[in-house]
Amino acid sequence: MRPLTPLAALAALAALSTVTACSADAVGDPKGKRGGEGTVTVRIPDPGNAGVLARGKKDGSLDKALAAVGAKVAWTGSAGPFAPAAQAMNADQLDIATGSITSGITSLSQSPGFAFFTATDPDPVGEGILVREGSDITSVQDLVGRKVAVNKGGTGEYLLLKALAKAGIPADKVERVYLRPDQTAAVFNAGQVDAWAVWSTYAVAEIGTGKARFVADGAAIGSDNYSLNAVRSDFAEEHPEIVKALYAYLHENSAKEKKDPAAYLNVFTDAGPTAVNGKAKDVQIAFTGKGGTVDPIGPEDITRFETVARFYADQKVTPVKVDIAAHLLDVEKLS
List the chain pLDDT tens, one digit each, 335 residues: 333 343 333 333 333 333 333 333 333 344 455 444 589 999 999 999 999 999 999 999 999 999 999 999 999 987 778 888 999 999 999 999 999 999 999 999 887 899 999 999 999 999 999 999 999 999 999 999 999 999 999 999 999 999 999 999 999 999 999 999 999 999 999 999 999 999 999 999 999 999 999 999 999 999 999 999 999 999 999 999 999 999 999 999 999 999 999 999 999 999 999 999 999 999 999 999 999 999 999 999 999 999 999 999 999 999 999 999 999 999 999 87
- pLDDT value, residue 83: 87
Per the CB < 8 A criterion, the answer to whether 268 and 15 are in contact is no
- C-alpha 108/C-alpha 308 separation (Å) is 13
**In this structure, what is the dihedral angle of CA atoms 47, 269, 67, 84, given to the nearest 10 degrees?**
10
pLDDT single digits (tens) 196-239: 999 999 999 999 999 999 999 999 999 999 999 999 999 999 99
Q: Bin 152: left if φ > 0, else alpha if -120 < ψ < 50, else beta.
A: beta
pTM of the model: 0.86
**In this structure, what is the dihedral angle of CA atoms 52, 6, 325, 238, given to the nearest 10 degrees?**
-20
Residue type, 326: A
- pLDDT value, residue 80: 77
- C-alpha 9/C-alpha 157 separation (Å) is 21
**Centroid of chain to Cα 26:** 22
Burial class of residue 268 in the structure, from the number of CB atoms within 10 Å of its CB (0-12 exposed, 13-18 middle, 19+ buried):
middle
- Alpha helix (H) ranges present in the chain? 24-28, 52-59, 61-67, 82-90, 101-108, 155-166, 181-189, 200-208, 218-221, 233-238, 240-259, 278-289, 299-314
